[in-house]
């Protein structure tokens, strides 16, 4: 296996690996480890170029630093990407990836993400101890990620003055998290519009829950109270924001804003934005509980995820008080924690 260190300003360490025997092509980005080892999921995706994969892993790893700091997990921020098609997954590929993770000596701890699963992580774990989200421990973090997003949606609805039974939500992307969100929202009587490129999955979930299926190309233009992006990132940009017909945005996708300035663009459009790295922190909170010396505690994980809603309310209140965007209110809180950990520890 060929492992190459890359020097990227602002990042603790960025490393790529290639292994001819298994076909592994992967990048691990460690953004910051001031608060603890960098923890972040392993995304397997058929990126068209290595540059595209690099841009994704750098953005995601930085987002994990902010997410972990704001959620008070005791972790730093990192992420990994494997350049491959989902149908090309093999045990050999994940064993090679495990060796790659192990070569970093515990500075990075991986977990499941897009197109990877706890089962895949078990294979990685056969090679390295630096894995979280395993079956028999915290397991699949998707249900708790969904819980955190839904709690954020209820808080956002309250900001809009809308009761759960009167709320309408459009979910773009019904993977594991989007499906669980749909079930939770429908259980409280909310009207839920669902869309995904997999029409068969949409039809099945609509029949099960009473959600309303809409074409994928109508996700952003559907009139609703809250738009929940739950697919890939950078969905909020110069082209899409003017087409939105929602009052607020709260979803589980990472890096929803193509650029920071798009938060200001949403504010100018009168659209309330729940910072994605706060809203979708349920998964990292779950694995942080799994990582405790005392072992995993399901009730504790649940309580910590529910508290995401309380934090979001504080962010909304601060944003209103200072006349800034919610992410401008949230970012300094996270930055103070991971840039000055000693100062915060002394204050505690």
Angle formed by the axes of helices 261-268 and 326-339, nearest 10°: 150
The DSSP code sequence of 157-218 is: HHHHT--GGG-EEEEE--SHHHHHHHHHHHHTT-EEEEE-S-HHHHHHHHHHH--EE--GGG
Strand-pair partners of 193? 170, 212
Residues with a catalytic annotation lie at 79
| Residue 203 pLDDT grade (very low, low, confident, very high; cuts 50, 70, 90) | very high
Measured CA to CA in angstroms, residue 342 lies from 35, 108, 336, 339, 347 at distances of: 9, 21, 10, 9, 9
Q: Taking the alpha carbons of 325, 239, 235, 175 in that order, is the dihedral positive or negative?
A: positive
Q: Do β-strands 38-45 and 76-83 pair in parallel, antiparallel, or remain unpaired?
A: parallel
Structural tokens at position 284: 């990292």
pTM of the model: 0.80
Residue 118 confidence (pLDDT): 87
Q: Is the pLDDT of residue 178 over 80?
A: yes
- Domains along the sequence of the chain with CATH: 2-62+76-125 (3.40.50.10860), 142-280+310-334 (3.40.50.720)
Q: For residue 89, give the H/E element and its range.
A: none
Distance of alpha carbon 239 from alpha carbon 341, whole angstroms: 39
Q: Render pLDDT for 115-124 as a digit per residue (tens, 0 to 9).
A: 998 899 999 9
Strand, helix or coil for residue 11:
coil
Which band of pLDDT confidence, cut at 50, 70 and 90, is reported for residue 347?
Answer: very low
266 touches 249 (CB < 8 A): yes
If residue 16 lies in a helix (H) or strand (E), which one and from where to where? strand 13-19
| Percent of the chain's residues with pLDDT above 70 | 97
User: What is the tens place of the pLDDT at every residue in 222-257?
Assistant: 999 999 999 877 899 999 999 999 999 999 998 899
| 48-52, 94-98, 234-238: least confidently modelled range | 234-238
Instruction: Please give the pLDDT value at position 137.
Output: 64
Banded model confidence at residue 346, pLDDT cuts 50, 70, 90: very low
> Is residue 138 pLDDT above 80, yes or no?
no
pLDDT in tens, 256-288: 999 989 999 999 999 999 999 899 999 889 888
pLDDT value of position 233: 75
Rg for the chain, CA atoms, rounded: 19
Q: 225 vs 42, 88, 211, 219, 270, CA distance in Å?
A: 33, 40, 15, 13, 12
Residue 141: which pLDDT band, with cuts at 50, 70 and 90? Answer: confident
Measured distance CA(166)–CA(236) in Å, rounded? 26
DSSP 114: T
Structure-token pair, residue 17 = 């690996």
Q: Which has the closest alpha carbon to 325: 272, 258, 280?
A: 272
- Return d(Cα 129, Cα 101) in angstroms, integer: 9
Per this entry, what is the length of the chain? 348
Which pair of structure tokens corresponds to residue 66?
């902010």
Between residues 25 and 348, the one the model is more confident about? 25
252 three-state secondary structure? coil
């Amino acid at each position: 296996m060929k492992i190459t260190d890359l020097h990227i300003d602002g990042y603790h360490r960025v490393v790529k690996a290639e292994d001819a025997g298994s076909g592994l092509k992967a990048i691990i980005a460690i953004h910051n480890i001031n608060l603890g080892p960098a923890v972040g999921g392993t995304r397997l995706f058929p990126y068209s170029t290595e540059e595209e994969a690099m841009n994704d892993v750098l953005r995601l790893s930085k987002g994990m630093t902010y997410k972990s700091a704001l959620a008070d997990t005791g972790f730093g921020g990192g992420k990994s990407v494997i350049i491959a098609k989902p149908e090309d997954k093999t045990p050999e590929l994940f064993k090679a990836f495990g060796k790659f993770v192990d070569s970093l000596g515990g500075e990075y701890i991986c977990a499941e993400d897009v197109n990877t699963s706890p089962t895949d992580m078990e294979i990685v774990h056969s090679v390295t101890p630096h894995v979280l989200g395993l079956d028999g421990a915290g397991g699949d973090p998707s249900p708790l990620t969904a819980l955190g997003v839904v709690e954020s949606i209820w808080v956002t609805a309250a900001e809009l003055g809308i009761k759960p039974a009167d709320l309408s939500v459009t979910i773009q992307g019904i993977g594991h998290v989007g499906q669980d969100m749909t079930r939770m929202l429908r259980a409280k009587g909310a009207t839920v519009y669902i869309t995904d490129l997999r029409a068969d999955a949409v039809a099945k979930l609509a029949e099960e829950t009473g959600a309303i299926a809409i074409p994928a190309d109508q996700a952003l233009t559907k009139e609703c109270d809250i738009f929940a992006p739950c697919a890939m990132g950078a969905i909020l940009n110069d082209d899409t924001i003017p087409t939105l017909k929602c009052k607020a945005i709260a979803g589980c996708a990472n890096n929803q804003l193509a650029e920071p300035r798009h938060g200001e663009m949403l504010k100018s459009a009168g659209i309330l934005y729940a910072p994605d790295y706060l809203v979708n922190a349920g998964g990292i909170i779950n694995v942080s509980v799994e990582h405790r010396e005392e072992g995993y505690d399901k009730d504790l994980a649940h309580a910590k995820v529910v508290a995401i809603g309380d934090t979001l309310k504080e962010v909304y209140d601060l944003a209103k008080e200072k006349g800034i965007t919610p992410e401008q209110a949230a970012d300094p809180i996270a930055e103070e924690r991971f840039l000055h950990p000693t100062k915060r520890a002394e204050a505690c």
